Amino acid sequence: MDHASAGSAPIAFEDFLKVDIRVGRIVTAEPFPQARKPAFKLTIDFGPEIGLKRSSAQITVNHTPEELVGSQVLAVVNFPPRQIGPFMSEVLTLGVPDANGDVMLIRPDREVPIGGRLY
Protein backbone atom coordinates (compact mmCIF):
# COMPACT_ATOMS: atom_id res chain seq x y z
CA MET A 1 0.00 0.00 0.00
CA ASP A 2 1.28 3.49 -0.82
CA HIS A 3 1.44 5.85 2.11
CA ALA A 4 1.41 9.62 1.76
CA SER A 5 4.71 11.26 2.56
CA ALA A 6 5.26 14.42 4.56
CA GLY A 7 5.57 16.20 1.22
CA SER A 8 2.08 15.26 0.00
CA ALA A 9 0.27 17.88 -2.01
CA PRO A 10 -2.24 19.96 -0.02
CA ILE A 11 -5.93 19.23 -0.50
CA ALA A 12 -8.93 21.48 -0.09
CA PHE A 13 -10.93 21.22 3.14
CA GLU A 14 -13.93 20.26 1.00
CA ASP A 15 -12.00 17.17 -0.15
CA PHE A 16 -11.40 16.14 3.47
CA LEU A 17 -15.14 16.48 4.15
CA LYS A 18 -15.84 13.88 1.46
CA VAL A 19 -14.10 11.19 3.54
CA ASP A 20 -16.66 9.73 5.95
CA ILE A 21 -14.78 8.41 9.00
CA ARG A 22 -16.97 6.86 11.70
CA VAL A 23 -16.51 5.09 15.01
CA GLY A 24 -17.75 1.53 15.25
CA ARG A 25 -17.60 -1.39 17.67
CA ILE A 26 -15.93 -4.64 16.62
CA VAL A 27 -18.43 -7.47 17.10
CA THR A 28 -16.34 -10.29 15.59
CA ALA A 29 -12.66 -10.72 14.81
CA GLU A 30 -11.30 -13.87 13.25
CA PRO A 31 -8.13 -14.99 11.47
CA PHE A 32 -8.01 -14.52 7.69
CA PRO A 33 -5.59 -17.28 6.57
CA GLN A 34 -6.34 -16.72 2.85
CA ALA A 35 -4.94 -13.16 2.95
CA ARG A 36 -1.51 -12.60 1.35
CA LYS A 37 -0.29 -10.83 4.50
CA PRO A 38 -1.45 -11.83 8.00
CA ALA A 39 -4.84 -10.22 8.66
CA PHE A 40 -8.08 -10.48 10.60
CA LYS A 41 -11.62 -10.39 9.26
CA LEU A 42 -13.58 -7.89 11.32
CA THR A 43 -17.31 -7.27 11.58
CA ILE A 44 -17.92 -3.75 12.88
CA ASP A 45 -21.19 -2.23 14.10
CA PHE A 46 -21.56 1.44 13.09
CA GLY A 47 -25.05 1.87 14.54
CA PRO A 48 -28.48 2.07 12.91
CA GLU A 49 -27.57 4.57 10.17
CA ILE A 50 -24.76 2.46 8.65
CA GLY A 51 -25.20 -0.95 10.27
CA LEU A 52 -22.77 -3.87 10.28
CA LYS A 53 -19.81 -3.70 7.89
CA ARG A 54 -16.88 -6.04 7.29
CA SER A 55 -13.20 -5.18 7.02
CA SER A 56 -9.94 -6.99 6.40
CA ALA A 57 -7.24 -5.53 8.65
CA GLN A 58 -3.50 -6.31 8.75
CA ILE A 59 -3.27 -5.79 12.51
CA THR A 60 -2.12 -9.21 13.70
CA VAL A 61 1.19 -8.07 15.26
CA ASN A 62 -0.25 -5.62 17.80
CA HIS A 63 -3.78 -6.95 18.28
CA THR A 64 -5.52 -10.24 19.05
CA PRO A 65 -9.08 -11.25 18.14
CA GLU A 66 -9.93 -11.59 21.83
CA GLU A 67 -8.95 -8.01 22.71
CA LEU A 68 -10.51 -6.58 19.57
CA VAL A 69 -14.06 -7.83 20.17
CA GLY A 70 -16.00 -5.10 21.96
CA SER A 71 -13.46 -2.37 21.25
CA GLN A 72 -14.15 0.77 19.28
CA VAL A 73 -12.27 1.68 16.09
CA LEU A 74 -12.31 4.33 13.39
CA ALA A 75 -12.96 3.44 9.76
CA VAL A 76 -13.65 5.07 6.42
CA VAL A 77 -17.18 3.97 5.56
CA ASN A 78 -17.68 5.55 2.12
CA PHE A 79 -15.00 3.88 0.01
CA PRO A 80 -16.30 1.30 -2.47
CA PRO A 81 -16.10 -2.33 -1.25
CA ARG A 82 -12.84 -4.09 -2.12
CA GLN A 83 -12.41 -7.80 -2.86
CA ILE A 84 -9.52 -9.25 -0.84
CA GLY A 85 -9.15 -12.88 -1.83
CA PRO A 86 -12.46 -14.60 -1.01
CA PHE A 87 -13.51 -11.74 1.31
CA MET A 88 -15.34 -8.49 0.51
CA SER A 89 -13.97 -5.66 2.66
CA GLU A 90 -16.60 -2.92 2.97
CA VAL A 91 -14.79 -0.34 5.14
CA LEU A 92 -11.18 0.73 5.69
CA THR A 93 -10.24 0.31 9.34
CA LEU A 94 -7.71 3.00 10.24
CA GLY A 95 -4.34 2.58 11.91
CA VAL A 96 -0.88 4.07 12.18
CA PRO A 97 2.54 2.40 12.18
CA ASP A 98 4.28 1.63 15.45
CA ALA A 99 8.08 1.99 15.81
CA ASN A 100 8.54 -1.26 13.81
CA GLY A 101 6.10 -0.30 11.04
CA ASP A 102 3.34 -2.64 12.28
CA VAL A 103 -0.22 -1.34 12.39
CA MET A 104 -1.78 0.01 15.59
CA LEU A 105 -5.49 0.73 15.36
CA ILE A 106 -6.76 4.26 15.85
CA ARG A 107 -9.30 4.16 18.67
CA PRO A 108 -11.09 6.66 20.90
CA ASP A 109 -9.46 6.81 24.34
CA ARG A 110 -12.92 6.82 25.95
CA GLU A 111 -16.21 5.18 25.09
CA VAL A 112 -18.17 7.23 22.51
CA PRO A 113 -21.49 6.62 20.73
CA ILE A 114 -21.04 4.31 17.73
CA GLY A 115 -21.71 5.83 14.33
CA GLY A 116 -20.21 9.18 15.34
CA ARG A 117 -18.44 10.99 12.51
CA LEU A 118 -14.87 12.26 12.83
CA TYR A 119 -14.51 16.02 12.56
DSSP string, the chain: -----TTPPP--HHHHHHS-EEEEEEEEEEE-TTSSS--EEEEEE--TTT-EEEEEE--TTT--HHHHTT-EEEEE-SSPPEEETTEEE-SEE-EEE-TTS-EEE---SS---TTPBP-
1: pLDDT strictly greater than 50: no
**Residue 78 falls within a domain, yes or no?**
yes
Question: In 3D, which of 108, 109, 91 has the Cα closest to residue 51?
Answer: 91
The pair phi, psi for residue 13, each rounded to 5°, is -55, -35
Give the confidence band of 7 by pLDDT, cuts at 50, 70, 90.
confident
User: Can you give the residue range of the structural domain that contains 85?
Assistant: 18-105
Statement: residue 83 has pLDDT above 90 = yes
Give domain status of residue 8, yes or no.
no
Q: Does some domain include residue 110?
A: no
Summarize pLDDT for 35-78 with one digit per residue, the tens. Answer: 999 999 999 999 999 999 999 999 999 999 999 999 999 999 99
What's the structural domain count of the chain?
A: 1
Q: What is the model's pLDDT at position 8?
A: 87
Cα–Cα distance for residue pair 41/57, rounded to 1 Å: 7
